[in-house]
Amino acid sequence: MLCAQKLKKVLYPALSLLGVLLAWQLVVVCGLVPNYLLPTPIQVFGALVKEASLLFAHTKTTLIEALIGLVIGTVVGSTFAILMDRFEGFYLTLEPLVTISQTIPTIAIAPLLVLWLGYGLLPKIVLVALTTFFPVLVSLLAGLRSVDPDMIDLMRVMRASRWQIFVHVKLPAAAEQFFAGLSIAAAYAIVGAVIAEWLGGISGLGVYMTRVRKSFSYDRMFAAIIVISTISLVLMGVIRALERAAMPWKQNYSNKEGVLHD
């Protein structure tokens, strides 16, 4: 039963992806969209193979920016979430500022960061950290504040310290929402790095996309988009693996539910 369930999880996404690629190929081949505007999947795959070494070099730069920025954004966002949960005054002070900060478009901040910090890695890392900070903070804070008050009262009756309540009650209760926010932040990290690279840089997938766009090489443009999507999916997969490792009880519960459902 479990094998059949795992097969479904692989088979259904594969069939849907195959259907999209087939429809894409037919749209171009049948002339519904001109080929000079939209390359076929076969042409994009050819560009991926042909440009593999160059794409790999640019991918390394983007990945470094995204990972460092994601780590910084996660650490800062988690720290702020814990402090906002612990101190009401801290929450009341920062909550409107954090919300307002997210109303500023990323594309508007990027040119300023490049102007202030130059064309190296630093402005890209800062932009990624700013982009990933919010989903981590909001998800973890919501998780920490969703703890059952009766559980906290029970721990207090048992004379547990604040630290023990935090470790044994609040963190496990907030873990699922934290990893959900971290998955979103991982996708934002790659996008933030690419956006920053559009506005200036020496290497990176955003720089590569800017160059091929000027030469109207849309097959290479789509190849870069596929690489960006693949990296985002891999990062999200790594975070899901970390979630399973950190929350083994959730995996066991899901397996039991799947068996009962079958």
Q: In this structure, is residue 238 part of a structural domain?
A: yes
Q: What's the Cα-to-Cα distance from 129 to each of 7, 160, 205, 229, rounded to whole Å? A: 37, 35, 18, 19
Q: Are 194 and 228 in contact (CB under 8 A)?
A: yes
Contact 69, 132 (CB under 8 A): yes
Sequence letter at residue 97: L
The closest of 20, 14, 10 to 44, measured between CA atoms, is: 20
Dist. CA 1–CA 19, nearest whole Å: 27
Q: What is the reported pTM? A: 0.85
Q: Mean pLDDT per 10-residue run, the chain (262 residues)? A: 68 86 90 86 92 93 94 95 90 85 78 81 90 92 88 86 87 90 92 86 88 86 92 91 83 52 51
Domain contains 54 = no
Q: Does 13 fall in a domain?
A: no
Q: What is the DSSP letter of 170?
A: I
**Structural domain total, the chain:** 1
Could you tell me the two tokens for 130? 């700013």
Confidence at residue 260, expressed as pLDDT on a 0 to 100 scale: 46
Q: For residue 156, give the amino acid letter.
A: R
- What's residue 99's pLDDT? 81
Q: What is the CATH number of the domain that holds 141?
A: 1.10.3720.10
Domain that holds residue 143: 59-261
